[in-house]
């Protein structure tokens, strides 16, 4: 069964253009299911039917997995079995008979202006500190995903038009904009700090680690964790929270939702609309707290 899995991972990576992170998640989800099958002495995907799938779902719920995690695992397996069926490796796809659980409605976390300022004040003027400032400014100024950030190359940046070419999900390219804050720190970083980190190596990627190599998404997340610890910010801040903050602040300040959709690289407008719920909820809270006739008696 692992042989079919390896073939599938090669297929989605090389032919479908899935990112390394996405391919890794799919691999781990499917391996989890294969381990379950082996524990039930099932050694062939053709033996998997609706009852087996339901039993697997029960096990996931008994392990207290969240609805979103169960939905993700189902999505990974549904796609994998669709591939197996297409390649005539199985007679039918039992996952077409199973619906994903309704996801818990969770509004994305974001940072307020004062938190952004506090966070951006943390990095120092050392080469690594300047690098950290570039990470924060790029995530917040452009709204790129962390997987997109680590793949930005020097040649992708156009200072004359204040734009960066982003290689996004599904091999789709888009152009994002940046402002004067990021321009200044980028020029300082590229002309001085980055050269010190590079240590005479040849590397065209923008963001480098302490050894002068391309940084990983996990490396970026760890940097942000360490920076947050030096502030009074209480929420868990991931690189994606800065992306959420970018979108929320744009909409709060009057940006059109279609423009935000384009900048974020969302293929569906419904994905972007979650941020309108965030801004509407914030406005409602402000109204209830400040309007004289909005208070509860």
pLDDT tens digits for range 76-109: 999 999 999 998 888 888 888 877 776 655 667 8
- Report, as residue numbers or ranges, the catalytic residues: 145, 169, 240, 243, 266, 275
Supply the pTM of this predicted model: 0.63
Q: Which residues contact 126 (CB under 8 A, 6 or more apart)?
A: 193
The DSSP symbol for 17 reads -
- All structural domains of the chain: 2-97 (1.10.150.130), 113-288 (1.10.443.10)
From the CB of residue 139, how many other CB atoms can be counted at a distance below 10 Å? 23
Q: Which residues of the chain have pLDDT under 50?
A: 297
- Structure-token pair, residue 242: 């800065």
Contacts by residues 32-39 (CB-CB < 8 Å, ≥ 24 positions apart): 32/73, 33/73, 33/77, 34/1, 34/2, 34/5, 37/1
DSSP-assigned beta bridge partners for residue 280: none
pLDDT at position 293: 58
Rounded CA gap, 290 and 281, in Å? 14
Measured in degrees and rounded to the nearest 5, phi and psi for residue 16 equal -95, -10
pLDDT at position 103: 61
Rounded CA gap, 40 and 52, in Å? 9
> Is the separation of the CB atoms in 262 and 231 below 8 Å?
no
pLDDT at position 294: 61
265: left (phi over 0), alpha (psi -120 to 50) or beta: left
Measured in degrees and rounded to the nearest 5, phi and psi for residue 198 equal -65, -35
pLDDT at position 297: 46
Q: Is 231 helix (H, G, I), strand (E, B) or coil?
A: coil
């Amino acid at each position: 069964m692992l042989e079919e899995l390896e073939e599938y991972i090669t297929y989605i990576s090389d032919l479908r253009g899935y990112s390394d992170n996405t391919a890794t998640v799919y691999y781990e989800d499917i391996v989890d299911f294969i381990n379950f099958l082996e524990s039930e002495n099932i050694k062939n995907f053709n033996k998997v039917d609706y009852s087996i799938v339901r039993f697997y779902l029960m096990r996931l719920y008994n392990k207290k997995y969240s609805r979103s995690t169960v939905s993700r695992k189902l999505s990974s397996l549904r796609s994998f079995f669709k591939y197996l069926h297409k390649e005539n490796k199985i007679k039918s796809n039992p996952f077409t008979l199973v619906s994903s659980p309704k996801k818990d409605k969770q509004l994305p976390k974001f940072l307020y202006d004062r938190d952004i300022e506090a966070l951006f004040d943390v990095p120092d003027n050392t080469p690594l500190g300047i690098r950290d400032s570039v990470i924060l400014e790029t995530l917040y100024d452009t709204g790129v995903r962390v997987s997109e950030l680590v793949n930005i190359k020097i040649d992708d940046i156009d200072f004359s038009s204040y734009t960066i070419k982003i290689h996004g999900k599904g091999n789709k390219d888009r152009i994002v904009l940046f402002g004067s804050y990021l321009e200044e720190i980028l020029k300082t970083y590229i002309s001085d700090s980055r050269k010190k980190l590079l240590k005479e190596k040849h590397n065209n990627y923008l963001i480098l680690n302490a050894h002068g190599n391309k940084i990983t998404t996990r490396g970026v997340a760890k940097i942000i964790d360490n920076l947050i610890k030096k502030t009074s910010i209480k929420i868990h801040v991931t690189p994606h929270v800065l992306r959420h903050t970018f979108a929320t602040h744009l909409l709060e300040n009057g940006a059109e939702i279609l423009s935000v959709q384009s900048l974020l690289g969302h293929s569906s407008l419904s994905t972007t609309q979650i941020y309108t719920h965030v801004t509407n909820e914030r406005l409602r809270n402000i109204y209830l707290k400040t309007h004289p006739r909005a208070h509860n008696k």
